C-alpha cells in the first residue's frame, strides 16, 4: 500500500522484467539474469555498478520471481545482530534472500560472519556496491558469489524512464501541466548522468515546486539543492567524478576543494587514493612517469597512517597530479 510520503522513484519501481528498463546485457533474451529468474535458479551474487541503475530493483524482481523471503539491509548501519535475526526467522519456510546494500562497507569480520550461511545455502546473498568487489569483498565470500556488472543507463533508457515518470498516475496526482519538451528532457538526461533515481527525483521536486516541467524550472530546482556529500548515494559518485575531472583539467584549487569535501565527510582514504593511482596512468601516463610513483606512495601512506594525518598525503598527491 503506497503512502503519500513514498518517493516517486519508489512508487515507480518496476515489479517484473517486462517493466524494467536497461541492463540488456543481463536481462535481455537469453541473458544470464533473465535465465536465472525464468529457471528459478537460486544462487548468491553481487551487483556492481553506479547509483540509480537498477541494483535494488533487480534484486526485488529476482526474489519475487523465486517466491523467496526478501530481507533488505544497508551495510552502513546493519551488523551481525540483524543478520542473526534473519537466520533465526523460520516463519514462512521460504528460501531467504538477503539484499545487502553497500556491501563493501562491511568489514572483514562481518563478511566472514556471512560465509557459513552463504556456503550452506541457509542464506542467499545479493550484495550491491558502487566499488570494485575485487578490492572491497573478501576473496572467500567473492568466490561463492557471481558478480554482475551494471552499466550507466543509456540516453534512450533514460528517455524511456522519464516518459514513464511524467505519464504515471502518481505524477499526475501532483498536478503537472504542460507536459515536458525535448530540450528539458535532454537537459535532465545529461544532468542525471545515467542515474534514473536522480532524474525521477528532479522531476518530482520540480513538479512540486513549479507544477510545470520546463528547462528553466529544472535548472532552478537544481540550484536549490543543498551542498551535500552522501557516501551511500549519488553525491558519493558525483563528487569523485568532479574530483577526477578537476585533476584532468589541471584545476588544482577545484581538485583540492572536492578532496576536502570527501575527507570532511569521512570518505575512505583508500577509495580516494585508488582513484589517484588509476588517474596517474590513465590521464598522465608516460608524460610524467613519476606520477604513478607518487600516487602509489600516497596510497601506501593512507594504508599505513590513516586519518587524520593521511589527509595531508592526499592533498600533496592531488597537487602533484
Residue 175: CATH number of its domain:
1.10.8.60
**Candidate from 1-10, 166-175, 240-249 with smallest mean pLDDT:** 1-10
Contacts of 139 by beta carbon, 8 Å cutoff, 6+ apart: none
Cα–Cα dist 282/286, whole Å = 10
Cα–Cα dist 273/243, whole Å = 12
Expressed as residue numbers, the domain containing 54 is: 23-149
Considering 193, 223, 253, which residue would you say is the last residue of a domain? Answer: 223
Q: Are 130 and 39 in a shared domain?
A: yes
* Mean pLDDT of the region 298-318: 92
Enter the pTM of the model: 0.68
pLDDT score of 205 more than 90: no
Radius of gyration of the chain, Cα coordinates, nearest whole angstrom: 21
The model's pLDDT over 121-170, given as tens digits with 9 standing for 90+, comes to 888 999 998 888 887 888 888 888 999 999 888 889 999 998 888 888 76
The model's pLDDT over 75-112, given as tens digits with 9 standing for 90+, comes to 877 778 888 888 887 776 788 899 998 888 788 888 88
What pLDDT score does 296 carry?
96
Residue 257 contacts residue 314 (beta carbons within 8 Å) = no
What pLDDT score does 174 carry?
55
Cα–Cα dist 122/44, whole Å = 11
Distance, CA of 245 to chain centre: 19
Residue 89 lies in a domain: yes
Pairing assessment for the beta strands 124-129 and 96-101 based on DSSP bridges: parallel
Structurally, the chain folds into a number of domains equal to 3
What pLDDT score does 301 carry?
94
Q: Confidence class of residue 5 from pLDDT cuts 50, 70 and 90?
A: low
Q: Are 204 and 243 in a shared domain?
A: no
* Placement of cell 545482530 in the chain: 81
Residue 171 contacts residue 203 (beta carbons within 8 Å) = yes
Considering 93, 124, 149, which residue would you say is the last residue of a domain? Answer: 149
- Mean pLDDT (the chain, rounded): 85
Q: Are 208 and 160 in a shared domain?
A: yes
Residue 185 lies in a domain: yes
Helix (H, G, I), strand (E, B) or coil at 34: helix
Amino acid at each position: 500500500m503506497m503512502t503519500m510520503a513514498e518517493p516517486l522513484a519508489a512508487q515507480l519501481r518496476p515489479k517484473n522484467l517486462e517493466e524494467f528498463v536497461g541492463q540488456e546485457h543481463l536481462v535481455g533474451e537469453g541473458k544470464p539474469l533473465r535465465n536465472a529468474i525464468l529457471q528459478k535458479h537460486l544462487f548468491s551474487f553481487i551487483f556492481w555498478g553506479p547509483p540509480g541503475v537498477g541494483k535494488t530493483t533487480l534484486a526485488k524482481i529476482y526474489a519475487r520471481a523465486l517466491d523467496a523471503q526478501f530481507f533488505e539491509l544497508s551495510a552502513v548501519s546493519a551488523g551481525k545482530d540483524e543478520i542473526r535475526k534473519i537466520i533465526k526467522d523460520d516463519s514462512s519456510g521460504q528460501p531467504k534472500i538477503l539484499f545487502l546494500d553497500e556491501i563493501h562497507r562491511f568489514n572483514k569480520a562481518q563478511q566472514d560472519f556471512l560465509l557459513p550461511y552463504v556456503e550452506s545455502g541457509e542464506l542467499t546473498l545479493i550484495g550491491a556496491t558502487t566499488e570494485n568487489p575485487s578490492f572491497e569483498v573478501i576473496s572467500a565470500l567473492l568466490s561463492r558469489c557471481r558478480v554482475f556488472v551494471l552499466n550507466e543507463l543509456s540516453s534512450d533508457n533514460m528517455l524511456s524512464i522519464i516518459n514513464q515518470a511524467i505519464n504515471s498516475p502518481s505524477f499526475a496526482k501532483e498536478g503537472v501541466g504542460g507536459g515536458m519538451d525535448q530540450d528539458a528532457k535532454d537537459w535532465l538526461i545529461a544532468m542525471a548522468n545515467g542515474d534514473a533515481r536522480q532524474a525521477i527525483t528532479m522531476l518530482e521536486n520540480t513538479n512540486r515546486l513549479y507544477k510545470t516541467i520546463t528547462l528553466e524550472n529544472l535548472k532552478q530546482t537544481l540550484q536549490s539543492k543543498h551542498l551535500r556529500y552522501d557516501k551511500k548515494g549519488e553525491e558519493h559518485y558525483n563528487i569523485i567524478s568532479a574530483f577526477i575531472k578537476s585533476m584532468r583539467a589541471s584545476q588544482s584549487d577545484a581538485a583540492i576543494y572536492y578532496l576536502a569535501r570527501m575527507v570532511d565527510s569521512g570518505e575512505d582514504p583508500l577509495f580516494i587514493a585508488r582513484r589517484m593511482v588509476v588517474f596517474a596512468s590513465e590521464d598522465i601516463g608516460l608524460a610524467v612517469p613519476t606520477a604513478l610513483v607518487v600516487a602509489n606512495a600516497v596510497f601506501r601512506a593512507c594504508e599505513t597512517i590513516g586519518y587524520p594525518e593521511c589527509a595531508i598525503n592526499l592533498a600533496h598527491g592531488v597537487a602533484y597530479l
